[in-house]
Structure 1
Amino acid sequence: MLLAAPLPALAQALTADQSAKVDTIVTDALKSSQVPSASIAIVRDGKIVYAKAYGDQGPNVAKTTPDARYQIASISKQFTAAAILLLEDQGKLSLDDKVAKYFPEITGSDTMTIRNLLSHTSGLQDYWPQDYSFALMENPVTPQQIVDRWAKKPLDFKPGTKWQYSNTGYVVAGMIVEKVSGEKLLPFLREHFFQPLGMDPINQDLAQGKGFPTGYHRYALGPVRPEKPAAAGWLWAAGELAMTASDLARWDIARIDRKIMPASDWEEQETNIRLADGSPTGYGLGVSISQRDGDKVVSHGGEAVGFLSDNVVIPAEKFAVVALVNADFGRATGQITHGIANLLLPPAQDQTVEDARTDLARKFYAELQQGEPDRSLLTEDAAYYFTPQAVKDYADSLGPLGKPESFEPIGGPRLRGGFVNRNYRITYPDRKLLLVTYAEQGKDGKFEQYIVMPGG
């Protein structure tokens, strides 16, 4: 009933000024990134208070609407993890079961647990680390074919000793759901989660053609072009769903209210998994875990062919924000969710640390413009990334731009994978750039990532 209500009714919990500022945040993100459209939903006090779509959803949608289903990709992982938790409640499996109990043919399955699969600590090689469709994705695939090609390779590391994102692990987890429940994955999710919550997602492979947003891609600063979807089956349990922003917000409300699953299951999903050496991963079971002003933040992003998504929940504040876009470039989703969160929940940042980190980011930018980066500011991985060719390209493309008009943080810091993610908008008279950084914790932590791209 809430989804069917007119937008003005949904928006009443925001002041007119807040609504206008939300609209500005979204439209600015679309303009600077050249992403065609966005659909958002905002939860305050455990209720959807704003749901709106912006821009051009493509030729298959007659009129831009918040009812359009966008592909949410890897945000789907938390639903696969929830299915596992539900089956554990039913006494049909345990998170600590060895994978060999279900699929002994998988490499290392006698040493990895279901918990390893869901927390990206299994050591299984990721079958899709790229940010584009590779050649095999021209053809349909089955979960078993993915397992046969990628899950029977040697492990990248001993289970539990490292964190490495692995879509392959989630395909295996989905296969376990089907084997144990005796049901197909999507009907299982629909019966136990979607229908009780009034959600109506569909298989993302079917979210194409009339009535659905068109996905777009862009090569460097070239034209924004419609992107050819991947063939069927490639995302499945690792990212199988397409839904509206309001549908995803309904799931966020269930998380906030601890409904549909026992509270202990939600807590289990949101527990920061630690490696064998005790170090935190910044990840739970299908969700990223971080902190904001002392409150736990449960979040996840998603990338499909032609689509990006971001979902941020702060349970203690009964707050959530969803941003879905029909382009796989530009990082508009993060700009939107961070901007809205900071508008409605202004962060109380440690200015000493954050000012220092901004100064350091600005300093390293100037050094890259000169082609002389201070490598003592880089971790081993970041130093590997900045090859002589990379440094030259940075200097050749950024140097002529000169000193930026402004260099400012976008949103607040958040933990991921043991590093702190901070993003910045770099503004020139004729363009805006986006800087995405990851760094070791603390004022003087080394950069693990420092990547500049169009947008911001």
Structure 2
Amino acid sequence: MQLLTLQIDELLSTLQDNNEFSGSVLLAKESKIIFNRGYGFANREHQVMNSTDTKFRIGSITKQFTAMAIMMLVEQGILRVEENLVRFTPSFSYADQITIHHLLTHTSGIPNITQIPNFLEIMKQPATLEKSINLFLNLEPDFKSGSRFQYTNSGYILLAYIIENSTGLSYGEFLKQYIFEPLNMINTGCDDHKEIILHRAQGYEFDSCLVNAAYIDMTLPVGGGNLYSTTGDLFKWDQALYTECLVKKETLEKMFSSYDFGYGYGWFINNNENGRQIHHGGGIVGFKNKITRLVDERVTLIILNNLSTVDVDKLSHEILRIYSLT
């Protein structure tokens, strides 16, 4: 393992020195963490380095927690994945044609909120879930629900609305009470620029030179991309998914089925030469992340990064290549 650690550190140190990576990386085999280190700056103005304690916005990795919350409510008999949206959004013209399953699998046809006009201005404004869903619910669907896959943040924002509508709890309160606290994920939560969040990373991007990332009010992407976390907390999450501490095995199997389009409930599902791979990226202004689970080998790779130009897919592939050769 020492050779593996040295090779990964050499790769990440070189990328750090070239401003091609800034973040934290964790690699684990079964329940043992092999590698967990930070690189680059969490805050460049104050020269604070990234570490294993740094909290990053995880973007669309949020979706797997939203999916888990929905499936917990399904197990409790509060929801059914087959039911349509009439119960929750009766004024939506297509509510009787779209189900919770369609939202979970990105097959609803609802346009992506990030594609609506003036989104770059809209994202700077505070929003309630009702306000957010009203931005896209009155739009014409891009296709008939269930006919094809089209990745959309809108569906997961709507799922967060359904969670709140069904439980009387806020999205953040539900996740904290039923997922984060049971798993002792004390470094994970809903991002809010007003709160003092210790060890929170600043996001960066390139605009002819390195600059602070554009501002987004994190009340807008609730359910689709509003969480922050650390590598250690996401490893706790990964380990829990091998158990029945949150939901039953049968429910997990439903979440990790590909449903013909290579996407389950909050996860991309691939079968390749390395066996079954369950993964998801997470990009939001100034951040680009990825979690990869090689479930047959019980190998986990978590990349959290606060530099939006980093190719996390390429980096993930390279680290797993190094792992496979050592």
Alignment pair present for 1:160 and 2:140: no
Alignment pair present for 1:203 and 2:180: no
Match of 2:205 among 180, 192, 217: 217
- Alpha carbons of structure 1 residues 61 and 246: separation in structure 2 relative to 1, 3 Å: farther
Looking at structure 2, the residues matched to 28 and 289 of structure 1 have their Cα atoms a distance apart, in angstroms, of: 31
How big is the shift at 1:29? 3.6
Spell out the pairing of 1:167-182 with structure 2 (5 A cutoff). Answer: 167-182=153-168
Tell me, yes or no, if the aligned pair for 2:292 and 2:301 is still in contact at 8 Å: yes
Tell me, yes or no, if the aligned pair for 2:23 and 2:50 is still in contact at 8 Å: no
Alignment pair present for 1:320 and 2:300: yes
The alignment covers a number of residue pairs equal to 322
How big is the shift at 1:187? 1.3
| Amino acid across the alignment from 1:334 | D
Structure 1, unmatched stretches of 5+, are 1-14, 274-279, 348-456
- For 1:233, the equivalent position in structure 2 comes to 219
Give me the CA root mean square deviation. 2.1
Looking at structure 1, the residues matched to 198 and 236 of structure 2 have their Cα atoms a distance apart, in angstroms, of: 25
SS in 1 for 2:113: coil
How big is the shift at 1:260? 2.4
Looking at structure 2, the residues matched to 249 and 61 of structure 1 have their Cα atoms a distance apart, in angstroms, of: 27
Spell out the pairing of 1:110-125 with structure 2 (5 A cutoff). Answer: 110-125=96-111
- Alpha carbons of structure 1 residues 294 and 216: separation in structure 2 relative to 1, 3 Å: closer
The structure that is helix-richer by fraction is 1
Looking at structure 2, the residues matched to 301 and 21 of structure 1 have their Cα atoms a distance apart, in angstroms, of: 24
Looking at structure 1, the residues matched to 82 and 47 of structure 2 have their Cα atoms a distance apart, in angstroms, of: 45
- Alpha carbons of structure 1 residues 147 and 98: separation in structure 2 relative to 1, 3 Å: same
| Amino-acid identity (%) | 25
- For 1:336, the equivalent position in structure 2 comes to 315
How big is the shift at 1:78? 0.6
Tell me, yes or no, if the aligned pair for 2:287 and 2:308 is still in contact at 8 Å: yes
| Amino acid across the alignment from 1:40 | V
How big is the shift at 1:229? 2.2
- Alpha carbons of structure 1 residues 178 and 55: separation in structure 2 relative to 1, 3 Å: same
Alignment pair present for 1:43 and 2:23: no
- For 1:307, the equivalent position in structure 2 comes to 287
- For 2:3, the equivalent position in structure 1 comes to 17
Q: Computing the radius of gyration over CA atoms, which structure comes out larger, 1 or 2? A: 1
Tell me, yes or no, if the aligned pair for 2:72 and 2:246 is still in contact at 8 Å: no
Looking at structure 2, the residues matched to 263 and 61 of structure 1 have their Cα atoms a distance apart, in angstroms, of: 45
Q: Which structure 1 residue ranges, 4+ long, deviate > 4 Å from structure 2?
A: 207-210
Tell me, yes or no, if the aligned pair for 1:245 and 1:324 is still in contact at 8 Å: yes
Tell me, yes or no, if the aligned pair for 1:309 and 1:323 is still in contact at 8 Å: yes
Tell which deviates more after alignment, 146-155 or 68-77.
146-155
- For 2:56, the equivalent position in structure 1 comes to 70
How big is the shift at 1:41? 1.2
Tell me, yes or no, if the aligned pair for 1:43 and 1:253 is still in contact at 8 Å: no
SS in 2 for 1:238: coil
Alignment pair present for 1:54 and 2:39: yes
How big is the shift at 1:28? 3.4
Tell me, yes or no, if the aligned pair for 2:5 and 2:34 is still in contact at 8 Å: no
Larger RCO, structures 1/2 (Cα 8 Å, 6+ apart): 2
Alignment pair present for 1:81 and 2:67: yes
- Alpha carbons of structure 1 residues 71 and 133: separation in structure 2 relative to 1, 3 Å: farther
- For 1:189, the equivalent position in structure 2 comes to 175
How big is the shift at 1:191? 1.3
- Alpha carbons of structure 1 residues 48 and 259: separation in structure 2 relative to 1, 3 Å: farther
Structure 2, unmatched stretches of 5+, are none
| Amino acid across the alignment from 1:339 | E
SS in 2 for 1:290: strand
Tell which deviates more after alignment, 162-171 or 135-144.
135-144
How big is the shift at 1:341? 1.5
| Amino acid across the alignment from 1:64 | N
TM-score (norm 1): 0.67
